[in-house]
């Protein structure tokens, strides 16, 4: 079976994104000279090929359809969430491995200490195995060892060693509700993981369908095309995982529901998305700002505002207690501590405003170390030192970004426009991993009010692939991604803040905005 290399995937994706940019420009400048059926036909062919390329033509190189390292974290982390919490996955994996196969290599491995993101030796973990075994009942420990042994055998030595150097199980307790339910369907096996991995493509399809429902076929096609050709959230990062796209599916439903004038559904969906991954809660800033703006102008709440708020309250009232039941009594406290620790720990694949301020692309690289723990510590220490020096300029840039958003959103009467404009706040105020930048598809509904944005977004997809091809080293690549996505966010804010939606509609000859009845 044909297994494309990652470089070939990037080259094809870059080419398809560039072809899309050319087609959009041609359509805009020579609309009457090119038959519409020809443009639609070429667009359809590009889209089909882009989707096939995104999915690596049906195979994740070297792994099959499900991603073993992803499933190791999400399957075991969710299934045994009450026992493992957010800090014991790797050490309990080492204890269970040594207990099951008595492999001398366990003691010699390095693994991530999830309490502070440092590295520690396997020998230090095995010196106190009761730290793990005491957290399980005998039945649950036996089940955990059975699942762990299957993953250890299925992943192989190299992938297993790398997995223990990752950054743990990070989803919220609310995500654990569905994650634990699905992982508890049976013991770990290729068949079960294969079935679970097919949920995400369905959620991706659902996201496109939700955007079609809210904004029409053009936005849906553009979203599918951008999703298939962008680089940060490519299939190598998110493919074959477990419920990696649920938050985006719900966010798309919420955004579309706002435009379809379904405020209760929008409140439930946007809140649910935020409770799954936290950073989508920033999308609620736009409806909140709209409520304040209307209250300032009219001195009263609209019925739609109250319905939206009731949706938010219902989602929080139901999901938060269920998350505590699924993940354990102290789950929310532990999750907050874990996320706070990550916020203080530099991680190389993050894309954000903070990444721009932390990066020193002109500085020499940290000298290589024979000991991976020393190299990891040296890199992290250099980033922390840099953060202490740039903290106040970073805070100032974040305040400026928020001010731009308020300047854009405050005059708006359409809540969905403001909510879509809130997407760049994720870049400005949080520090997410690169694979969450599929969220940029939620900018595409704004082409309903500013048509040239579709060309900007597809240019971002093409440039992201070219950056990945040119700079394979993670530090340079994700710094470049941060500059690229930050630049597109700044362009969007500037265009809306200084031009205004009304003027944008007046100057766009292709605008076809039709509000639903």
Q: Is the model's pLDDT at 252 over the cut of 50?
A: yes
Compute the average pLDDT of residues 152-174: 90
Compute the average pLDDT of residues 203-225: 95
DSSP code at position 350: B
Beta strand 118-121 with 110-113 is antiparallel
Compute the average pLDDT of residues 368-373: 48
Instruction: Give tens-digit pLDDT for 256-283.
Output: 999 999 999 999 999 999 999 999 999 9
Residue with tokens 């398809």: 16
What is residue 158's predicted lDDT score, i.e. its pLDDT? 87
Q: Are the CB atoms for 495 and 504 separated by under 8 Å?
A: yes
Q: Is the model's pLDDT at 61 over the cut of 60?
A: no
What is residue 141's predicted lDDT score, i.e. its pLDDT? 94
Instruction: Give tens-digit pLDDT for 313-334.
Output: 999 999 999 999 999 888 999 9
| Cβ neighbours, 10 Å, residue 324 | 17
**What are 115-124's contacts with CB under 8 Å, separation 24+?**
115/87, 115/341, 116/341, 116/345, 117/167, 117/341, 117/342, 117/345, 117/380, 118/373, 118/376, 118/377, 119/165, 119/372, 119/373, 119/376, 119/377, 120/373, 121/373, 122/94, 122/98
Instruction: Give tens-digit pLDDT for 377-434.
Output: 666 677 777 778 888 999 999 999 999 999 888 888 789 999 999 999 999 999 998 9
**Residue 64 bridge partners (DSSP):** 60
Residue (of 513, 485, 376) closest to 424 by Cα position: 485
pLDDT > 70: percent of the chain: 89
Q: What is the rounded distance in angstroms from the CA atom of residue 342 to the CA atom of residue 167?
A: 9
What is residue 369's predicted lDDT score, i.e. its pLDDT? 44
Which of 128-137, 156-165, 344-353, 388-397 is predicted least confidently? Answer: 344-353
Q: What is the rounded distance in angstroms from the CA atom of residue 65 to the CA atom of residue 50?
A: 18
What is residue 374's predicted lDDT score, i.e. its pLDDT? 52
Q: Is the model's pLDDT at 62 over the cut of 60?
A: no
What is residue 504's predicted lDDT score, i.e. its pLDDT? 59
User: Element (H or E) spanning 111, and its range?
Assistant: strand 110-113
What is residue 411's predicted lDDT score, i.e. its pLDDT? 81
Compute the average pLDDT of residues 298-309: 86
Tell me how far CA of residue 10 lies from CA of 37, 212, 434, 468, 480, in angstroms.
29, 27, 16, 8, 16
Q: Is the model's pLDDT at 165 over the cut of 80?
A: yes
Compute the average pLDDT of residues 342-353: 83
Confidence class of residue 304 from pLDDT cuts 50, 70 and 90?
Answer: confident
Instruction: Give tens-digit pLDDT for 490-517.
Output: 999 988 887 766 565 555 555 554 444 3
- Considering only the C-alpha atoms of the chain, give the largest distance between any 2 of them, rounded to a whole number of Å: 75
The token pair at 397 is 């840039």
Mean confidence (pLDDT) of the chain: 86
| Cβ neighbours, 10 Å, residue 164 | 21
Q: Is the model's pLDDT at 468 over the cut of 80?
A: yes
Confidence class of residue 365 from pLDDT cuts 50, 70 and 90?
Answer: very low
């Amino acid at each position: 079976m044909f297994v494309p290399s990652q470089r070939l995937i990037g080259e094809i994706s870059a080419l398809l994104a560039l072809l899309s940019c050319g087609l959009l420009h041609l359509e805009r400048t020579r609309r009457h000279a090119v038959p519409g059926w020809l443009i639609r036909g070429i667009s359809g062919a590009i889209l089909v090929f882009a989707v096939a390329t995104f999915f690596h033509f049906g195979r994740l190189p070297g792994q099959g359809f499900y991603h073993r390292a992803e499933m190791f974290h999400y399957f075991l982390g969710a299934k045994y969430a009450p026992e493992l919490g957010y800090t014991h996955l790797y050490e309990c994996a080492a204890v269970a491995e040594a207990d099951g196969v008595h492999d001398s290599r366990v003691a010699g491995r390095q693994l991530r200490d999830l309490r502070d993101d440092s590295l520690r030796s396997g020998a230090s973990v095995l010196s106190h195995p009761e730290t793990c075994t005491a957290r399980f009942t005998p039945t649950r420990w036996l089940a955990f060892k059975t699942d762990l042994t299957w993953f250890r055998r299925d992943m192989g030595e190299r992938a297993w060693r790398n997995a223990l150097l990752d950054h743990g199980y990070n989803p919220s307790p609310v995500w654990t509700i569905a994650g634990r339910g699905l992982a508890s369907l049976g013991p770990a096996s290729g068949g079960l993981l294969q079935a679970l991995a097919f949920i995400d493509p369905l959620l991706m399809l659902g996201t496109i369908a939700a955007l079609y429902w809210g904004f029409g076929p053009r936005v849906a096609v553009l979203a599918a095309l951008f999703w298939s050709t962008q680089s940060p959230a490519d299939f190598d990062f998110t493919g074959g995982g477990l419920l990696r796209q649920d938050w985006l599916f719900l966010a798309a439903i919420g955004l579309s529901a706002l435009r379809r004038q379904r405020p209760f559904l929008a409140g439930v969906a946007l809140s649910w998305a935020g409770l799954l991954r936290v950073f989508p809660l920033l999308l609620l800033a736009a409806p909140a700002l709209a409520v304040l703006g209307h209250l300032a102008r009219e001195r009263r709440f609209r019925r739609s505002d109250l319905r939206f708020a009731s949706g938010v309250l219902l989602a929080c009232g139901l999901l938060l207690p269920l998350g505590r039941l699924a993940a354990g009594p102290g789950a929310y406290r532990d999750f907050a501590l874990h996320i706070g620790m990550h916020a203080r720990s530099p991680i190389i694949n993050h894309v954000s405003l903070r990444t721009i301020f932390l990066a020193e692309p002109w500085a020499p690289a940290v000298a290589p170390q024979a000991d991976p723990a020393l190299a990891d510590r040296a890199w992290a220490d250099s980033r922390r030192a840099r953060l202490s020096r740039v903290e106040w300029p970073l805070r100032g840039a974040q305040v400026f970004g928020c001010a731009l958003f308020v300047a854009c959103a405050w005059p708006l009467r359409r809540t969905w426009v403001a909510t879509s404009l809130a997407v760049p706040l994720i870049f400005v105020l949080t520090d997410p991993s690169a694979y969450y930048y599929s969220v940029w598809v939620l900018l595409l509904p704004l082409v309903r009010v500013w048509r040239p944005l579709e060309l900007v977004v597809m240019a971002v997809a093409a440039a992201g692939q070219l950056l990945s091809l040119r700079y394979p080293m993670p530090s340079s690549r994700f710094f470049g991604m941060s500059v690229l996505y930050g630049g597109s966010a700044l362009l969007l804010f500037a265009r809306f803040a200084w031009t205004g939606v009304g003027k944008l509609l007046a100057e766009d000859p292709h605008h076809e905005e039709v509000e639903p009845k």
